[in-house]
């Protein structure tokens, strides 16, 4: 078995997770170079070992020994870096979203497909073991024909207002994970959306032009639906649950808690809070998604989640924003761009990814 050489771009919070996971768990993958404008070579090497470091991402992407690029930089730089990687013939793993613009998302997906470049998007929640188990049970018919999925997705607290200003808004930044989850769990395409948004957590969010609370209904091609309930703040912590109901039963995916201890005292019966945030809650999903990315490279198989999934999730996000703004349900067919032929054909090929 050969070895995959990786370039990692962006050693922020997520970049470090991927770096450590690859170093510790995947003997057939190696990070040969790291690109990050802010990185300090000396302290990096002291902590992480001897890897080629550059403050110029171009230099890193162009290196001949690199098979694939992991893009963990801020969203605004994703599109350019994906394009450079594709043009240099490197496969790509990119944190979501590819871009805030649907056009660029589509164009890059099509370009990757045209060029034979493998492109995986970091919709990490698909690879959470509990969600995977739920999807497996659904696909095996354990709950019959699925009629509704209810997604609860609440963050433990507001991100900085500056982050929010550049985030694309709650639907594109936060709920997009849930839109992808709805497609993944139901295995069906969304055709219509209805969304409401509110500013209930902090007025500063409203002043920044965003919402912090949302309720979204997604209608699937067969008329069944998903309901997604988002909040930027739940005082009891990160709340990530699913409930899927079908003709044969129901599956609930509950939060993982800090521990499995139960305390009984004169005030009641008490359990610990859910795991704090995505880095704790989705530890295993980050590991699993990287395992599958590397496997797909080693075995030349399709990526488990790709450009078309990013395109569809972005379309849904844009549609929900429109629905909220216009106070009506919006059909996904209203959110279109001129598609190149290759993306249309990709669509057909890659639909299996949900």
Which residues bind to a copy of itself, rule: CB under 8 A? 24-25, 129-130, 133-134, 137, 142-145, 147-148, 150, 152, 154, 194, 196, 198, 200-201, 213, 215, 217, 219, 223-225, 227, 229, 231, 233-236, 239, 243, 245, 247-273, 327-329
Work out whether the CA dihedral 183, 187, 188, 189 comes out positive or negative. Answer: positive
Q: How far is the CB of 259 from a copy of itself (least distance, A)?
A: 5
Q: Which is nearer to a copy of itself, 115 or 250 (CB)?
A: 250
Q: Which is nearer to a copy of itself, 115 or 272 (CB)?
A: 272
Q: Which is nearer to a copy of itself, 37 or 249 (CB)?
A: 249
Q: What contacts 299, CB < 8 A, 6 or more positions away?
A: none
Q: How far is the CB of 230 from a copy of itself (least distance, A)?
A: 10
Q: How far is the CB of 197 from a copy of itself (least distance, A)?
A: 9
3-class secondary structure, 52: strand
Distance CA 249, CA 143 (A): 4
Distance CA 317, CA 165 (A): 16
Distance CA 149, CA 126 (A): 15
Q: Which is nearer to a copy of itself, 55 or 236 (CB)?
A: 236
Instruction: With CA atoms as reference, report the closest residue to 81 among 57, 106, 107.
Output: 57
Q: How far is the CB of 252 from a copy of itself (least distance, A)?
A: 4
Instruction: With CA atoms as reference, report the closest residue to 207 among 247, 155, 164, 149.
Output: 164
Q: Are 38 and 63 in contact (CB under 8 A)?
A: no
Q: Which is nearer to a copy of itself, 176 or 251 (CB)?
A: 251
Q: How far is the CB of 282 from a copy of itself (least distance, A)?
A: 13
Q: How far is the CB of 27 from a copy of itself (least distance, A)?
A: 8
Q: How far is the CB of 149 from a copy of itself (least distance, A)?
A: 10
Q: Are 290 and 120 in contact (CB under 8 A)?
A: no
Q: Which is nearer to a copy of itself, 49 or 160 (CB)?
A: 49
Q: Which is nearer to a copy of itself, 137 or 337 (CB)?
A: 137
Phi then psi for 199, rounded to 5 degrees?
Answer: -110, 100
Q: What contacts 167, CB < 8 A, 6 or more positions away?
A: 75, 159, 173, 174, 210
Q: Are 2 and 28 in contact (CB under 8 A)?
A: yes
């Amino acid at each position: 078995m050969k070895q995959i050489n990786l370039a990692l771009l962006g050693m922020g919070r997520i970049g470090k997770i991927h770096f450590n996971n690859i170093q510790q768990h995947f003997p057939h993958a190696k990070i040969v170079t790291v690109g990050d404008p802010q990185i300090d070579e000396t302290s990096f090497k002291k902590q992480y070992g001897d890897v080629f470091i550059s403050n110029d991402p171009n230099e890193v992407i162009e290196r001949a020994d690199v098979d694939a690029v992991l893009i963990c930089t801020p969203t605004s730089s994703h599109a350019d870096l994906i394009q450079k990687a594709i043009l240099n013939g490197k496969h790509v793993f990119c944190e979501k979203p590819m871009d805030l613009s649907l056009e660029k998302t589509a164009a890059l997906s099509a370009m990757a497909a045209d060029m034979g470049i493998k492109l995986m998007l970091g919709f990490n929640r698909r690879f959470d073991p509990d969600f995977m188990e739920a999807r497996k049970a659904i696909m095996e018919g354990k709950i019959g024909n699925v009629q509704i999925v209810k997604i609860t997705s609440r963050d433990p607290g507001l991100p900085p207002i500056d982050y929010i200003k550049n985030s694309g808004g709650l639907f594109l930044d936060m709920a997009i994970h849930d839109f992808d989850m709805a497609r993944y769990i139901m295995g069906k395409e969304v055709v219509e959306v209805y969304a409401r948004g509110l500013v209930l957590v902090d007025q500063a969010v409203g002043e920044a032009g965003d919402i912090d609370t949302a309720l979204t209904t997604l209608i699937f091609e067969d008329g069944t639906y998903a309901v997604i309930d988002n909040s930027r703040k739940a005082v009891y912590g990160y709340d990530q649950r699913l409930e899927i109901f079908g003709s044969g039963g129901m599956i609930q995916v509950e939060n993982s808690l800090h521990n499995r201890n139960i305390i009984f005292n004169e005030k009641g019966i008490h359990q610990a809070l859910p795991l704090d945030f995505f880095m704790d809650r989705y530890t295993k999903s980050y590991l699993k998604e990287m395992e599958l990315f590397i496997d797909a490279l080693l075995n030349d198989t399709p990526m488990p989640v790709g450009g078309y999934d990013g395109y569809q999730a972005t379309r849904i996000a844009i549609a929900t924003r429109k629905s909220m703004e216009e106070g009506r349900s919006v059909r996904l067919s209203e959110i279109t761009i001129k598609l190149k032929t290759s993306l249309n054909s990709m669509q057909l090929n890659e639909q299996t990814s949900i």
